[in-house]
Copies of this chain bind each other. A is one copy, B any other.
Amino acid sequence: MQFSSSLLENAVNEFSKLPGIGKKTALRLVLHLLKQDASFSREFGEIIIKMRDEIKFCQRCFNVADSPVCSICASPSRKQDLICVVESIRDVIAIESTQQYNGVYHVLGGIISPLDGIGPDQLNIEQLINRIQKEETQELIFALNPNIQGDTTIYYIQKKLQPSSVRVTTISRGIAFGGELEYADEMTLARSISNRLPVESYMSK
């Protein structure tokens, strides 16, 4: 692309550094900013800078936070002895959006994936083990993506927890609500048959 303005070119380059945004999309976004009032761009830029400069990670659960402890950990209405273990902040937001979970979280910051060079030491696993011992956690719910890496991570953490009496569960896997049996993969379908539920317990949920 040839630009007649270096200001425009720099802005397009900045946008195209973001994931999933190519040069053409970046140009579309920049031209949109040009159409808006200058205050729109100023606010946009300032909010991004402020976010990155001031955001913190919760000392306890590693979720994003505005203060040293996140609002979920600090909430008195949350069950502090029920921990949901997730891969990333994105998963916390997804679970919070259901408005069905009233425990707290622990963000691992990734999952064990030797092929990508991610071992247990790069994740917040040690902190989870210490936290469970210190806080006398009653239950640990794994909400990791259902794949080999997720299962490996669950297996690893469960081994590490062995002497502890904490109850360990995982979110149920099966056919998604609204999904169709014929398009489900064999592994999901096989597991959902072997992990079948009594109809009464299913209907009451």
Tell whether A96 pairs with B64 under 8 Å between CB atoms, given A31-B88, A33-B52, A41-B52: no
Per the 8 Å Cβ criterion, residues 23-50 of A in contact with B are: 25, 27-34, 38, 40-50
- Measured CB to CB, the nearest residue on chain B to A73 is B4
A173 at the interface (CB under 8 A from B): no
Contacts of A97 in B (CB 8 A): 1-2
Q: Which residue of B lies closest to A72 (CB)?
A: B4
Q: How large is the interface on A (under 10, 10 to 19, 20 to 34, 35 or more residues)?
A: 35 or more
> Chain B residues with Cβ under 8 A from A72's Cβ?
4
Which residues of A in the span 84-112 have a Cβ within 8 Å of any Cβ on B? 88-90, 92-93, 96-97, 99
Instruction: Please state if A53 and B70 are interface contacts (CB–CB under 8 Å).
Output: no
Contacts of A10 in B (CB 8 A): 47, 51
Interface string of A95-135 (1 = CB under 8 A from B): 01101000000000000000000000000000000000000
